[in-house]
Amino acid sequence: MQLTKEEESILRGEKGPRLGELMRILVTVGELNDASRLIPIWSAHLSGVSFKTMGLPGTEFLEDAAKEVRFSVPTTVNPAGYDVGGPGLIRADDDFRWKQERLVRSLLAMGAEPSFSCIPYAIERDPPAGVHLAWAESSAVIYVNSVVGAFSNREGAPTALASAVLGKTPDHGLHRPEGRHPDLVVDVGPSPDPIRYTVLGAYLGKKLGSRIPYVRGVAPNIDSLKEMGAAMSAWGSVPMFHVEGVTHEASRQDVRRLEHLSVDARELAEFEHSLGGDESPNLVAIGCPHCTASELNTLAEVLRKRGENAKPKTEVWAFTSRGVIAANPDVVSYLRKAGIKIVQDTCMVVAPLGAEYPVIAVNSAKAAFYASKKSFSGQRVVFGTTEELIRKYV
């Protein structure tokens, strides 16, 4: 890689061993991916913020780093392992809370914004098209690449942290125009029912692995793009997608020589059936990724159709960010009065919910993927649309 004199000086440790260590991370990743240089980034977003995923060694590393370095670009963070700012619904034990607090204090000491959300693009700092980012939340990465038109590789926690401190990232992959071209065309056939985009995304993620699709035959709105991308990146490792006539860069793509994958309604229905069982859930969880303002309003509309006196028979939690809550007090107030618990700063995937809520109902294929895994909560999953879950359990 061609480094500037300042970058070489940092790499040699002349500005401190910690900065040298972080620079070595970026240079190593860059060399492994044939990057020729480092490029400046507009912002960073850090994953692994829950102690459940970070663990004690990672927490101790952050504590040490916080004594020496600060973030040089705006840096947001993923959900924590419990609802740090309230309302105290996550009943984590004292040891877990203490370790989570240590992790949070370290991040804030380095200058992180206390966003605690997987939708940093929907809160205070919406990136413009064309900027370079170093983001490490798969559902956010696929969204900003596909929908916003910003550039980010699917970073891991160490590389995103290094980029947040140094303000740079290796110039490879989705930072390069040639890295953003589709690998195949996906033709979605007509369906008698509305497309469930979270199901389509999960189906494609499982089929495609890390290949970038050019999708035809659908017209998702902004929330459907979000849920389709989140599921695609969870069930696979797809970093970006194009939807004909919809997404930012689709019109620039030449797909004439690409292979085709056809998807019909029967295949999607069969796949959807595999996402969850038929049990009585202990908890209905909405918001994976976190609910946007429009998704909270959709939930409110579904509840209004049930009638003003309808109250949940099963606990219903809506997960969102503190930024969305602050900006939308009216719908948040309505939902709370209707008996919906509004949860901030954490999510159904990274919070320790399995023991208390062994069966969880979700409207997200991403949540269905992670919740059932023993490395997360090991829960049994019930799957349905928001309307279906509210009809059954409110």
Q: What is the CATH number of the domain that holds 357?
A: 3.30.499.10
In this structure, the answer to whether residues 190 and 166 fall within a common structural domain is no
Q: Give me 49's structure tokens.
A: 């913020």
pLDDT at res. 234: 97
Residue 205: closest CA among 227, 226, 232, 184: 232
Segments in 33-137 forming alpha helices (H): 51-66, 94-109
Q: Say whether both 220 and 121 belong to one domain.
A: no
What pLDDT is recorded for position 125?
A: 65
How many whole angstroms from its chain centre is CA 317? 18
Q: Encoding tokens for residue 16?
A: 């401190």
Tell me the per-residue pLDDT of 61-108, one tens digit each, with 9 for 90 and over: 999 999 999 999 999 999 999 999 888 889 888 999 999 999 999 999
Q: Which residue, chain included where needed, has tokens 């909405």? A: 286
Q: 21 with 158, same domain? A: yes
| Residues with Cβ within 8 Å of residue 93, at least 6 apart in sequence | none
Residues 346 and 248 placed together within one structural domain of the fold: no
The answer to the question of residue 278 being in a domain is no
pLDDT at 91: 87
181-195: burial string, b at 16+ Cβ within 10 Å, e else: bbebbbebeebeeeb
User: What does the pLDDT read at residue 124?
Assistant: 61
Query: What does the pLDDT look like over 13-51, one tens digit per residue?
Result: 999 999 999 999 999 999 999 999 999 999 999 998 999
Q: What are the pLDDT digits (tens) for 312-322?
A: 899 999 999 99
Report d(CA 347, CA 377) in Å as an integer.
12
Please give the structure tokens belonging to residue 271.
């796949």
**One domain for residues 131 and 150:** yes
Residues of the chain with pLDDT under 70: 124-125
In the chain, the number of structural domains is 3
pLDDT for 260 equals: 98
Total-model pTM: 0.95
Same domain for 161 and 53?
A: yes
Residue 171 φ/ψ, nearest 5 degrees = -90, 85
Determine the structural domain holding residue 301 and report its residue range: 283-393
Same domain, 265 and 377: no
Distances (CA, A) of 148 to 126, 130, 242: 9, 9, 11
- Residue where a domain stops, chosen among 136, 158, 177: 177
